Amino acid sequence: MTAAPGDLRCYDRSRIAELASESIIIFDSDRRVRYWNPAAERLFGWPFLAMQGSEITDLSPSPAEEQCAWSQLVQEGWWQGRVCRRARNGRVVVADVRRHLRYDETGAHHDTIEFARPATEAEGADAEVGPVPDEIMAASWEIDISPALEIVARLGARASLAGDGEREKLCLRLVECARIVEVNERTARLVGGNRGRALMAGQSVAAFWPVESRAILAELILEALAAEPGTTCSRRLASDGILRDPLVSVWRAGPERPARLFVAVSGAADDDRSYLFLRASEARYRKLVDYMPVALWQVDASHMGKIYAQLRADGVVDFERYLEQHPELVERAASTVPVTDVNRRAIELVGGAGVHDLTRPVGYLFSESPASLRRVMIGRFTGQKNYNELMKLRTLDNRVLDVLFSVTYPEPRVELDTTIFSFEDVTDRLRMETQLRQLQADFSHAARVSMLGELTSSIAHEVNQPLAAIVTNAETSLRWLAHDDPDTGKIAQLTERIAASARRADNIVQRVRRMAVKQTPDPVELPFNEILQESLLFVRHEIETRSVRVSTSYARGLPRVVGDRIQLQQVIVNMLINAVQAVEDRDEAEREIAIATGSDEKGNPLFTLRDRGPGIAADHLDHIFDGFFTTKAQGMGIGLAICRSIVEAHGGAISASNRPGGGAEFRVVLPRAGDYMAVEPVVGNVHRGFGGNALNAT
């Protein structure tokens, strides 16, 4: 039985399996080989074409043991252990294999995937089992000799005689009558011209087989037909201009296909440029992956796919909640999902001695960030294509790295269920970012303190007012007490006023203090209008002493914003001071500021500040948010730059324009609470908490 061509094409597309250093074999539900990658050809010596459709147990020297392993696979869904297989050169290859059953969408058993490595690799022995490059490049043929059976019979009847001209003719005739069933890519490249594999099928073997060795092929065919099943008959030929010292091997396909034979020709090609070119390009591709500066892990989570399918069938929709209730499933993934291959950078990154240090269950990758594995599983369950996040990785030599971790999930049926993990060490980058954020924080704090400096007289005035009230009320109270019959009701009233004024003074001091001290930003949901009202308190005195009229218009029912109260106040106070400064030299009629809140077309809260000042010169409009841009004699030019970095770190936008009737207009839009997402300053699409540039400014 052979696999449907559609299926094969599908598997052929999987570059990873073709280039994997591990043997990968796919069996259909009858245990017949459907796919056999080049590493499997290398390990077991059999070309794919010979194995396609055959039962793997036929290669086992101990079928009973093999049978037992398959029964366990069916019961458990996966199996891991050691198997022995007869290779084409007659030796027995011992391999460590893992097998997983795979299921289709309906939950029915679809096929089995097997990964294998030579067992000797682990024991560090027998170099002979290593790669044999020319063997991999065997050109394979499946041929049908049924149209030549009569010739075979006649040849069988004649004893082989040197110089027997009649026999030689019959031999050539045999090769002419033999038909090609299928050839592999290598055969097509070597002798097919540009006809391709499909066009070779059905044609005479003689149309493609070199004339000088046709008789030898015929003799090998006769030998193979007469030999015991499973015997390989080989002959080394003289170089034929295509291959150097080719070795031709012929063997029977099996009892159920008596007229079918397999032919494999191994040997180094020295003339076929495209053939060599392809070999070189495959090697280059493999090298490229191996030397890529990103650490790559190939992971086989196929058996988890079965569990997910079952859970879905059982009606589990909220997988995140399910995992919270069943943490053992995460444990299970950590201890049973194996890493099947890694590249050099991976070994360097985690400090292992070789591939074998890293090809074990994935748990070791998540020892520092167990929740990351959970998120990887959720990504697969919910059908994402990729997932990435920043996480901590503990190396084998016990260093802890900050890494950007990315997962590429397999596309069902195309990628052989291979998941790829990549890790990029971003420890240094994050350290630099932290330093940068610290600098920005210091800068922003310095600007705030300097802003408070500008407001000293306002603050003094603010505090003075309740203090003056306390003094007045205390004196009045004393006067009442001096009466012979003090009015205790009146005194109590005055004392209450004293306490209220003291509280007000305390509030002002606290407010200024909060603005002045350095503290970690505290993002909370805030009512937009309230931030504005509080900010106005800081500049009330400036406004009053300069006879500036302020009109306010607060929209009702505005959504909340998420942010740090002090930082947002810093933005608004800064803009208010600028507006007051812009109008203070105008005629009294023009000393006007209008503040309004509202929402933009997407429903995000916005705030506008309009003044009747001179406006902003057209060629300054693009620069006022730049650091150190100022048009004022005493200005520093950092206020608006800090406003912008704070607003952007909150995911919002700030802009300035000139009003048609004169004066400037500033507009700040912030995302409403539900839509809030911290912006990513440097590292691309990663999950992060509240962070980013100036938000960490304190």
Q: How far is the CB of 577 from ligand ADP (least distance, A)?
A: 7
Burial class (CB in 10 A: 0-12, 13-18, 19+), 417: buried
Span from 93-101, 295-303, 319-327, 607-615 in contact with ligand ADP (CB under 6 A): 607-615
The answer to the question of residue 444 lying near ligand ADP (CB under 6 A) is no
Q: How far is the CB of 442 from ligand ADP (least distance, A)?
A: 18
The answer to the question of residue 613 lying near ligand ADP (CB under 6 A) is yes
Judged by CB, which is closer to ligand ADP: 336, or 630? 630
The answer to the question of residue 377 lying near ligand ADP (CB under 6 A) is no
Judged by CB, which is closer to ligand ADP: 610, or 672? 610
CB atoms within 10 A of CB 450: 12
Judged by CB, which is closer to ligand ADP: 276, or 621? 621
Q: How far is the CB of 609 from ligand ADP (least distance, A)?
A: 8
Which residue in this structure is represented by tokens 């499909």?
198
The answer to the question of residue 507 lying near ligand ADP (CB under 6 A) is no
The answer to the question of residue 147 lying near ligand ADP (CB under 6 A) is no
Q: Binding pattern to ligand ADP, positions 654-673, x when CB under 6 A?
A: ----------x---------
Greatest CA separation found in the chain?
154
Q: Give exposure, 586-615, as e/b (b: 16+ Cβ within 10 Å).
A: beeebbbbbbbbebeeeebbbbebbbbbbb
Distance of CA 60 to the CA centre of its chain: 40
The answer to the question of residue 63 lying near ligand ADP (CB under 6 A) is no
The answer to the question of residue 556 lying near ligand ADP (CB under 6 A) is no
Given 630, 653, 675, 683, the residue binding ligand ADP (CB under 6 A):
630
User: Is there a contact between 543 and 580 (Cβ–Cβ < 8 Å)?
Assistant: yes
Span from 265-273, 358-366, 513-521, 624-632 in contact with ligand ADP (CB under 6 A): 624-632
101 pairs with which residues across the strands?
A: 112
Judged by CB, which is closer to ligand ADP: 171, or 571? 571
With a CB cutoff of 8 Å and minimum separation 6, the contacts of 149 are: 259
Count of alpha carbons within 13 angstroms of residue 597, beta-carbon side: 19
Rg (CA), the chain: 40
The answer to the question of residue 639 lying near ligand ADP (CB under 6 A) is yes
Q: How far is the CB of 635 from ligand ADP (least distance, A)?
A: 3
Given 631, 655, 657, 685, the residue binding ligand ADP (CB under 6 A):
631
With a CB cutoff of 8 Å and minimum separation 6, the contacts of 496 are: none
| C-alpha to C-alpha distance for 507 and 514, rounded to whole angstroms | 10
Burial class (CB in 10 A: 0-12, 13-18, 19+), 421: buried
The answer to the question of residue 289 lying near ligand ADP (CB under 6 A) is no
Span from 103-111, 294-302, 436-444, 608-616 in contact with ligand ADP (CB under 6 A): 608-616
Judged by CB, which is closer to ligand ADP: 441, or 641? 641
Amino acid 256 reads E
The answer to the question of residue 582 lying near ligand ADP (CB under 6 A) is yes
Judged by CB, which is closer to ligand ADP: 284, or 620? 620
Listed in order, strand segments (DSSP E) in 195-331 are 233-236, 243-252, 260-269, 295-300
Judged by CB, which is closer to ligand ADP: 120, or 658? 658
Listed in order, strand segments (DSSP E) in 70-228 are 78-86, 92-103, 109-118, 139-144, 179-183
**427-454 and 639-649 helices, crossing angle to 10°:** 130
Given 254, 559, 598, 637, the residue binding ligand ADP (CB under 6 A):
637
Q: How far is the CB of 681 from ligand ADP (least distance, A)?
A: 21
Given 163, 255, 353, 632, the residue binding ligand ADP (CB under 6 A):
632
Which DSSP helix (H) or strand (E) runs through 472? helix 456-482
The answer to the question of residue 640 lying near ligand ADP (CB under 6 A) is yes
Q: Which residues sit at the interface with ligand ADP, rule CB under 6 A?
A: 578-579, 582, 611, 613, 615-616, 620, 624, 629-632, 635-641, 664
